[in-house]
Amino acid sequence: MRRLRASRIVLGIIAGLSAGLVNAGLLAVLTGPRAMGVLSGAEEPATGLVIHLILSALSGITYAWLFNPIPDSDAEGLASGLAYGLLWWMILSLNLIPIVLGEGPQWEVEAVASAFPALVGYLFQGAIVGLGYPILYDIVTHWLGPLDEPVEGPQPLAVQHKIVILGGGFAGVTVAQHLERLFAGDESVVMTLISNTNHLLFTPMLSEVTAGGVEAQHISTPLRAFFRWTQVIRGEAKAVDFERRVVKLEVNGPASHAEVSFDHLVLGVGAVTNFFGLPGAEAHAFTFKSLEDANLLRNHVIEMLERADAEQDSERRKALVTFVVAGGGFAGAELVGGLNDFVRGSLWFYPNIPPEEVSLILVHSGERIMPELSFDLADYAHERLKGRGVAFKLSTRLANAVPGAVLLSNGETIRTETLVWTAGNMPHPLIRRMGLDGDAGGAVTTDATLRVTGRPNVWAIGDCAAVPDSYTGKRCPPTAQHAVRQAATLAHNIHAVIRGRKTRQFSYRSLGSFAVLGHQTACAEIRGVKFSGLLAWWLWRAIYLVKLPTLEKKVRVTLDWTVDLFFPRDIVQTTTSHRSTRGVEALARVDARR
């Protein structure tokens, strides 16, 4: 590489100098001793010649830089050289020389016309450089062998650093993106991303999928679309051997195993639903974390509406159109708002369901929903949801769930066929299995540079990691907002470690939070400033649209939103096979266990 650059420079100088000499010679013959002054602005011919030759050598080097790879034919070399000569003339004769002489740029037509002799001279000079440089280049490569690295054929890869990223969520994808940029073109670094889903799900819009406002595919981007060099493996990490530095995977189902070795390992496996040991809930509740969850729930809700429409018995019908969401955090509140819109908005299609029989219930253990928000915003959210028909069971826990009903901690029983569980998350159990230092909740602890305690080449971020928050002193909240910022710092730090530079500490002050509560209603708190209603809703849409990865998906979601403005909700069922009623499903499970 270095030899290559040096020889280019030398060849450029030779070509430039010879062309400069020809130009000076011709001009001297044609216009007499004034020529050197024309070319360099210097009074003294000898000084002029030296300046001119230095500039010419420079022009040769620049030509070599500009036209690399060299033109394919001599004629193209000549022609590009002529164009180059014109440019060089404009730069020198119309600008640099007059500026140095204190006359300022000479762009008026008379001044340019008087620089005509130099124009012809530089055309010659450019032509000779354009013709000569490629010829010299060919001669030299003929004698010395190719200057370029061999372009075709497999190249021996000197891989020195293998970075493996576990998890294709916000954390993992963002790390890989930053690393690609930092290590661009460096073939000694190989990045591999392992994920058991093949897409990145944009969770903030998940409730809109259930509510039918946005297509499921439109809020998720294939992992393979993000990267240019990073290798993507769709597989489930089962264990990590820190001694041998390998990740053990299941690639195509439980039967096929694989191992991927690493020098640096990034853990970003996120969180899973935590049922707090409520077996009934685990067996009967819908979860709400993945695209599949959102799709299943949506199909199930439509199934309930269809059945209710055909149901004669009012009690049973009521149970079919009662929807219970457990957990009043952001996810639960957003979901119940979206579901409420969807169910009530679709009743128009189902004339046999009396609207007053429909109920959506949010069960929450705290005194107010969305504890992350300040009191008055949470209150606002509560009032708005209530106004739109959502019922609340506050300071109440789910005690159990059985087919066809849920039991609450206050002794109440609600007959329903639909329970969605958003009441708890915990770091992915894989973390615990690895035996790394963790906090009480099971998240792996890291230092401020995002290194896992006691493991210099293992890093962790996102929902599965307990990263110290430099502002609150506590653990960073498990949000995408934090995950992507952590990812940027993490990528910087891995790059720094490999390149032997200084690492950086993670520090990020939360911007605030947003919750969308259904039709044109949202509430937000950004750096202490509170918004609610339509303005917040617009902000929500604008900000999340910007954050949604890839332009294509932005366009698709925008279209979905636009269509949604003008047409009714879509109630097409895309699958009826799963969980059409929980009773049937539960029996099937019991059978399977036996």
Ligand X SMILES: Cc1cc2nc3c(=O)[nH]c(=O)nc-3n(C[C@H](O)[C@H](O)[C@H](O)COP(=O)(O)OP(=O)(O)OC[C@H]3O[C@@H](n4cnc5c(N)ncnc54)[C@H](O)[C@@H]3O)c2cc1C
Nearer of residues 119 and 480 to ligand X, judged by Cβ? 480
Q: Is 280 in the site for ligand X (CB under 6 A)?
A: no
Residue 478 interacts with which of ligand X, other proteins, none, CB < 5 to 8 Å by class:
ligand X
Nearest Cα residue to 277 out of 472, 462, 426: 426
Nearer of residues 142 and 228 to other proteins, judged by Cβ? 228
Three-class secondary structure assignment of 225-290: HCCCCCEEEECEEEEEECCCCEEEEECCCCCCEEEEECCEEEECCCEEECCCCCHHHHHHCEECCC
Residue 269 interacts with which of other proteins, ligand X, none, CB < 5 to 8 Å by class:
ligand X
H/E stretch holding 533? none
Nearer of residues 49 and 491 to ligand X, judged by Cβ? 491
* Interacting residues with ligand X between 172 and 191 (CB under 6 A): 172
| C-beta contacts of 145-148 below 8 A and 24+ residues apart | 147/3, 147/4, 147/7, 147/8, 148/4, 148/69
Binding map of ligand X across residues 464-503, x = CB under 6 A, - = no contact: x-------------xxxx-x--------------------
CB 422 within 8 A of CB 326: yes
Query: Rounded to whole angstroms, what are the CA distances from 546 to 199, 222, 541?
Result: 18, 18, 8
Q: Is 153 in the site for other proteins (CB under 8 A)?
A: no
Q: Is 58 in the site for other proteins (CB under 8 A)?
A: no
CA distance 232 to 225: 10
Cβ 89 to other proteins, closest distance in Å? 9
Indicate the residue whose CB is closest to ligand X.
169
CA distance 223 to 252: 17
Partner residues linked to 531 by β-bridges:
524
The one-letter code for the residue type at 457 is N
Residue 550 interacts with which of other proteins, ligand X, none, CB < 5 to 8 Å by class:
other proteins
Q: Is 9 in the site for other proteins (CB under 8 A)?
A: no
Q: Is 101 in the site for other proteins (CB under 8 A)?
A: no
Token readout for 13 is 């100088």
Q: Which stretch binds ligand X (CB under 6 A): 63-71, 264-272, 308-316, 391-399?
A: 264-272
The one-letter code for the residue type at 126 is G
Q: Is 82 in the site for other proteins (CB under 8 A)?
A: yes
H/E stretch holding 455? none
- Contacts with other proteins by CB under 8 A lie at 26-27, 29-31, 63, 65-69, 71-76, 78-80, 82-84, 86-87, 90, 94, 104-105, 107-110, 112-114, 116-117, 119-121, 123-124, 127, 148-149, 151-152, 184-185, 225, 550-552, 555
- Contacts with ligand X by CB under 6 A lie at 166-172, 194-197, 203-204, 206, 236-237, 268-271, 288-289, 330-331, 428, 430, 462-464, 478-481, 483, 514
